[in-house]
Structure 1
Amino acid sequence: MSNPMNFAFLRKEALPPNGRKVAIIGAGPSGLAASGYLACLGYEVVVYDKLPQPGGLMVFGIPKKRIPPERIQAGVKRMERQFGVLFRTKTKICCSAPLHEEEGDHFSCDIRGLGELVREYDAIMICTGSWKSRKLGIPGEKLKGVHSGLEFLFPIRAARYASPNVSMPAVQGKRVAVVGAGHSAVDVVDSAHALGAEKVYMIYRRTVREAPCGSYEIDRIEEMGATWLERRTPLSVMGDDSVVGLELANGVTGETETLDVDMVVTAIGEIPTPPFQQELGLENVRKGEVRWLHMTSIDNVFVAGDVLTGPSKIGKAIYSGLRASRSLTNWLDLKAQDREDEYNYDEDKIDR
């Protein structure tokens, strides 16, 4: 088996318990990094995640050929056994968004409120990531047969858990248009071929040289049989009840063209889905201030990772989790010092 991911890399063994208890909401890269950092320093750490396994999109959004899920799970087991981290999976921390609005909510068997956690823990860190897909904003986007990248890929990764609310996309024999040129779009193309699509198009508004996935991946999917269409902009999804075509603006010829497809997947990225935006002041607080301190308008609630910054590389999400953890520990230390100073001041008054 591959070497486990070492999320608790500060120490080989945790420091003695310091009597402080922290809840992490979200077990993606930033949440796991924060958990490992705090556990090494002797904090009691409990991690809540709506999915059946920790790892977030590293497990449920990225193919295992890039990040073997076994490495992630081995790292999680190490944190559980050696550092006492508790993982509460299939648990949704309720927010203003209704349940089952985002991918992954389907697995939630338990629901808890933020207020409950604020009262129970010394501090909270929100690391819920980016689980809401961007929209094209064109006519026909709500037709049957139009999916976001996450809507398409997540059920494929989650199928092994046999949830009645999750079903594989029906691709067999269909003609699929994939909009986007990032790694998620490539993953959709690969998956559509594996599921028996008759034809797959990959559509991008710029050129192959500007494709985020790189020219190697474009060459590979073309060799596999996919058709690459560059400098094309979707104008509308055609159909009455379900997809029958995709209208495109051709940036090469300046004309409009139509693709004969019956499925459209828009793999153009995700947006942050911070829970409790109004309650935490994330709508009004200056982003630079939040990103520096990682603290919300509630004193003991912190935020880290893609939920704050938007989609990023895994390394950046991990760094954000570590930085937020340091901010959290500093804040708790200052709070404890203030209490001690106040106590000493009261003792002085009694002595006098």
Structure 2
Amino acid sequence: MTSVLTWVLAVVLGVGHARNDDARLAYAVRGAPTVAVEVGEPFELVVTRSWSGDLEPEPFSERRLAPLRVVEVDVRRDLSGGRTVETRRLRAHAFDVGTLVLDDLVLVARDVATGGAVEARAEPLELTVRSSLTAVDDGALEVPLAPRGPARRSMVWTALALLCVLFVSIAGLARVRTRLVARRQDRDARTERAARRAAEHAAAVAALVGRLERLGERAAQDLDPSAAAQWNGELWSTAREALGLVCGVSFAESTVDEVASALERHGAPDVVRELVGVGRAVDRVRFARASDGPRERASRVERARAAVQLLERSTGPTEHAPTAGGAA
């Protein structure tokens, strides 16, 4: 800051005098590699300043190169033979189309011994700044440093491609989500149907077991042969319907042997043993008019109920189990 003030005072107050031919100070500005540039496009400037050891130059200022806009790239200083040579590379931009002449290129230094000002003037730099628009250009706004031509078209196509990929990805995710929701709803519906079938099945079996219990209550009554045959027919029909409901097979109009054979294939030998005993006794009363007392009837009811409950414990509800209303 002290050096800058000293230079300003030296110029304003006239301390010393400027000498353009002083060999102790040199200044040069040149464009590399060319002085024909396009508007807004970067180009290189090289500023060379050299001074002897008895001079103190002013700090470099970018304002000296106005109206160019410059950015410093690198600076190199060499000290040889009592002189300092400073080479500064700059990246410059010009934004006015036409011929640009930099003719006020002055370097000021202060003589350390006398305090006088010494200046050196560089040769004028003439630049030709050309527009990037062609004769057939549509006149669209040109933004400095923005991509143009094929690069801009490439960016547009890239953006469109990315939008397409994004759209396809979102659509795919939406389809996947829809399928997952549908699967979950289907699974929930199947679970609900299974629970409803299980509840209906349990209610139907319980109703048939209740019918067997009511038959057991009537077993203690005195029944004539006709009433006894009717009671045994109802017992067999109820037991057969309950067993068919548990197995998921319709036993309507099936004989004792047919029901026993089906239960053997079902894998229930204990149930078959109980059922065959009940069925044979029922047939003897119904068709052979065998004697039938309260104790025998109560025993048959208990064995039929035990067979149904035993089969129920070993078999779950089935998809096609008949309802409890179809007794033969």
Greater C-alpha radius of gyration: 2
**When the two structures are superposed, what TM-score results if normalisation uses the length of structure 1?**
0.20
Q: Name the structure, 1 or 2, with higher relative contact order (CA <8 Å, separation 6+).
A: 1
Give the helix-richer structure, 1 or 2. 2
